[in-house]
Structure 1
Amino acid sequence: MTAVLPGAGQAPAPGRAGSLLRAVLRQVGTAVLVLAVVVLLWTVLLRVFDVSPYVGKTPAEVWTTLFGEDDSAELRAEIGALLGQTLLDAGVGFVAGLLSAVVLAAVVVRYRLLEGAVMPVALVLQTVPLIALAPILILAVGRGYVLVATMSAIVVLFPALVNIVLGLRSVTPQMRDLVLVYGGSPSTVLRRVGFPSALPALFASVRIAVPGALTGALLAEWLATGKGIGYAVVSAAGRSQNARVWALVVVVTVTALVLYLLAQLVEAAVLSRFGRAEAAR
């Protein structure tokens, strides 16, 4: 038995492309507005709190550091290499955390007796500070990609797990009964109906996981691996290279914003495939 997803096998609804375009433009406009507000607050707060120019760098000074000095090209190349390492670390954690959340959510929904065992452990991992767990994790798995994946996955796991479980449980009793009447099993309900119904929750988890994976990667780099932007920020701060610190922080922040925007655009494109109602969520 196969279940028909909303909108599958149907001709594109009139105006669907226009609706998708409006959603994309709205999200891009929102991202630009957020960036403008951050720059404005950054500038105003430096003045309001009278931060020393030696410590606090303005957006113009960061721009000059990255693009207006003799060694800016060399600095950009170095930051690009560091960013590549951090993105690799974050990608490992993102995949590990999100896949773990999907698998655990499916297990929790399919076998409710296991919920009491899975959810408290996930909650404990979420509440214990990573900086406290780091020494134990280093002793257990070393300082390689397993550690990066573990630390990033811990940041990503709990919020993604909660969202996906709620999405999988959004299947209506009528739809569940229909699948069972036609010979489907509870696993069929989960696979054919539950996961398609959970798409909005899954994409919400992806949006949460993007900055979470970056945070986990930066912490792992700072505390354990000695690579990437996480370690470079701490190293530059220790040498009082404040302009470099601000440049690194700005680059990783803008990167997180761009990745979040990309996740939103993919979400809008995929959900619009199944109808405007889901895409509008």
Structure 2
Amino acid sequence: MVEGSDLVSTVLPGTDRVPGATGSLLRSALRQVATTVLVLGVVVLLWIAALRVWDVSPYVGKTPAEVWTSLFGDADSAELRAEIWGLLQQTLVDAAVGFAAGMLTAIVLAAVVVRYRLLEGAVMPVAVVLQTVPLIALAPILILLVGRGYAVVALMSAIVVLFPALVNIVAGLRSVTPQMRDLVLVYGGSPSTVLLKVGFPSALPALFASVRIAVPGALTGALLAEWLATGKGIGYAVVSAANRSQNTRVWALVVAITLTALLLYLVAQLLETAVLSRFGRAAVRR
């Protein structure tokens, strides 16, 4: 009976590192970094253009230069940066809790759905309902059920993350061909062996696609949870500053969380490139 890495190598040929993979990995990483920088530049240009085209009042709309000055050029810049850093740390913790809860739930449910097809009719409708019902409508019920701690943060972020990740991972697990499945069964493996030893390696591209989607989703869920439930982090700080007409602070907070989301997305891309190149897959996103 073939087990472990031998089985993966038999069913998924080419999983050893290919020649020149290091150079290809480096070029791919540099290309992804350059793309992120280019996207950031385009966003800044669109930001400036939007303020001018719609003739937004300078009191409300702040330019990139004004946000930069508030963060790095004023006498109070150090205090503002320290405050934003503290708020950002809280939001990152909240997003990490939601990301972990959502991804782990999606992986477990995907494995159950693929392994036991009869349960798909019970799992998928619930996931669809959670995705379609506005989170702001669910928030009061969730707060009543679990309170205003990390449990509600995990639930709200996980709801945002769950459905896209579940659909992607299920599709990835089902990408196992009949030939692959039959080979494992011939060597004495069980359907669970097919899922663990062949299904999950085959689903790695879909899994990392889910991670890329889940990163901004977890941040969005964390911001909503902070605004609606916990009263902490950047999510609450943005609403509080807007209510007090502290518009420069609002823009600085939004820029901080946006840059953080871009950075985390880039990290997810680089991790995907490194892992998939290890398995001899395409190391570059389509």
* Aligned-partner Cα distance in 2 for 1:159–1:107: 16
The alpha-carbon distance between structure 1 residues 274 and 25, as it changes in their structure 2 partners (threshold 3 A), is same
Partner of 1:270: 275
- Summarize the alignment of residues 34-45 of structure 1 with structure 2, pairs less than 5 Å apart: 34-45=39-50
- 1:57-68 correspondence to structure 2 within 5 Å: 57-68=62-73
2:234 maps to which residue? 229
Aligned ranges 1:116-195 → 2 under 5 Å: 116-195=121-200
Give the aligned residue type for 1:184. G
Q: TM-score, normalised by structure 2?
A: 0.96
Measured in 1, the distance between the counterparts of 2:67 and 2:55 equals 18
Percent of aligned pairs with the same amino acid:
81
2:245 maps to what in 1? 240
- Distance in 2 (CA, whole Å) between partners of 1:280 and 1:80 is 31
Runs of at least 5 residues in structure 1 that lack an aligned partner in the other structure: none
Contact 1:122-1:157 at 8 Å conserved across structures: yes
- Is the contact between residue 15 and residue 280 of structure 2 (CA under 8 Å) also seen in structure 1? no
* Secondary structure at the counterpart of residue 282 of structure 2: helix
Give, in angstroms, the shift of residue 13 of structure 1: 2.3
Q: CA deviation at 1:117?
A: 0.4
CA distance in 1, matches of 2:41, 2:65: 13
- Taking the aligned partners of 1:34 and 1:168, their CA distance within structure 2 comes to 32
Q: Partner of 2:8 in structure 1? A: 4
> Partners of 1:4 and 1:145 in 2: how far apart?
39
Contact 1:102 1:161 in 2 (8 A): yes
* In structure 2, distance between residues paired with 1:85 and 1:280: 31
Aligned 8 A contact 1:7 1:273 in 2: no
Match of 1:250 in 2: 255
1:201 alignment partner AA: A
Deviation (angstroms), 1:278: 5.9
Post-superposition CA distance 1:131-188 (Å, at most 9, x none): 0000000000100000000000000000000000000000010010010111110000
Q: Distance in 2 between the 1:280 and 1:152 partners?
A: 26
Q: Residue 216 in 1 paired to residue 214 in 2?
A: no
Return the TM-score normalized by structure 1.
0.97
The CA deviation at 1:18 is: 1.2
Q: Deviations over 1:231-274 (max 9, x none)?
A: 00000000000000000000000000000000000000000001
**Residue identity in the other structure for 2:200:** F
Counterpart of 2:30 in structure 1: which amino acid? L
CA shift for structure 1 position 279: 5.0
Q: Secondary structure at the match of 1:277?
A: coil
The CA distance in 1 between the partners of 2:274 and 2:115, in whole Å, is 29
How far residue 26 of structure 1 moved from its aligned partner, in angstroms, is 1.0
Question: Displacement, 1:280?
Answer: 5.5
Q: Does 2:32 correspond to 1:21?
A: no
Within 2, Cα distance between the matches of 1:188 and 1:280? 29
Note the alpha carbon deviations across 1:195-250, whole angstroms, 9 max, x for none.
00000000000000000000000000000100000000000000000000000000
Distance of aligned partners of 1:52 and 1:271 in 2 relative to their CA distance in 1, 3 Å threshold: same
CA distance in 2, matches of 1:61, 1:273: 44
Amino acid of the residue matched to residue 94 of structure 1?
Answer: F
Superposition RMSD in Å: 1.2
In structure 1, distance between residues paired with 2:95 and 2:160: 11
Task: Report the AA paired with residue 168 of structure 1.
Answer: L
**Aligned residue number for residue 115 of structure 1:** 120
Consecutive aligned runs of 4 or more in structure 1 exceeding 6 Å deviation: none
Alignment check: 8 A CA contact 1:200 1:278 kept: no
Judge conservation of contact 1:151–1:220 (CA < 8 Å) in 2: yes
Amino acid at match of 1:29: A
- Name the structure 1 match of 2:98: 93
| Distance of 2:285 and 2:46 partners within structure 1 | 30
